[in-house]
Amino acid sequence: MNLELLGYSAAVITTSSFIPQVYKIYQTKSARDVSLVMFTFFSTGVILWLIYGLILLSWPIIFANTATLIMSLCILFMKIKYDRRGGSKSA
Amino acid sequence: MNLELLGYSAAVITTSSFIPQVYKIYQTKSARDVSLVMFTFFSTGVILWLIYGLILLSWPIIFANTATLIMSLCILFMKIKYDRRGGSKSA
């Protein structure tokens, strides 16, 4: 198997996996079981990956992490919004 | 800033971000709002990253993705277990 194709497949699958999570929270208006700490740390790490990609000028790293960051921030934003509305405890 | 340090920091932060999610689900015994589709796709993508790392013999990729895979599979396993117990709908 082509190594580059393997890397791109891995990047596309891990990145697009966040779409159903964004959709699920948006649809149910609930993110009680989603960890605020996870997505705060995750978004921070993805920003570092993005800076890393920008320095290396690696377009696969830049594109994959920009898409992941947008979805991770969407999850974080909805988590804060819906938890506040529902009044549930966050962790 | 050292580029290698930046990459390692990004890897450590994104990988360890899954720990609070694993802990949260374990503690609350609930993963209703966590997307089954997300973690199924995510685990699949991480397995591809792991194969990619093994072919390249890149230890940072191998270590980061092994740790991420273990946590992602834990989340998936608990999601299936607790959803079945609670009888809630999964997506």
For A3-86, which CATH class? mainly alpha
The position carrying tokens 């997300």 is: B38
Helix axes A59-86, A3-16, angle to 10 degrees: 20
pLDDT of B91 higher than 70 = no
> What is the ipTM score, two decimals?
0.85
d(CA B22, CA B74): 7
Q: For chain A, list residues whose CB is within 8 angstroms of any CB belonging to chain B.
A: 3, 6-7, 9-21, 23-25, 27-28, 30-35, 37-42, 44-46, 48-49, 51-52, 55-56, 91
Indicate if the pLDDT at residue B88 is higher than 90.
Answer: no
CB–CB contact B45 A7 (8 Å): no
Q: How confident is the model at residue A12 (pLDDT cuts 50, 70, 90)?
A: very high
Q: In this predicted model, what pLDDT tens digit does every residue of A22-55 receive, in sequence order? A: 999 999 999 999 999 999 999 999 999 999 989 9
- Treating both helix axes as pointing N-terminal to C-terminal, what angle do A59-86 and A36-56 enclose, rounded to 10 degrees? 160
Question: Are A3 and B55 a contacting pair at CB < 8 A?
Answer: yes
CA distance A70 to A30: 19
Angle between helices B3-16 and A36-56 (to 10 degrees): 160
The dihedral through the CA atoms of A51, A67, B45, B88 has a sign that is positive
Taking CA atoms, what residue in A is nearest to B21? A35
Give residue limits of the domains in chain B. 3-86
Q: Within a 10 A sphere around the Cβ of A58, how many other Cβ atoms? A: 13
pLDDT at A87: 56
Give B39-83 pLDDT, tens digit per residue.
999 999 999 999 998 998 888 889 889 999 999 999 999 999 999
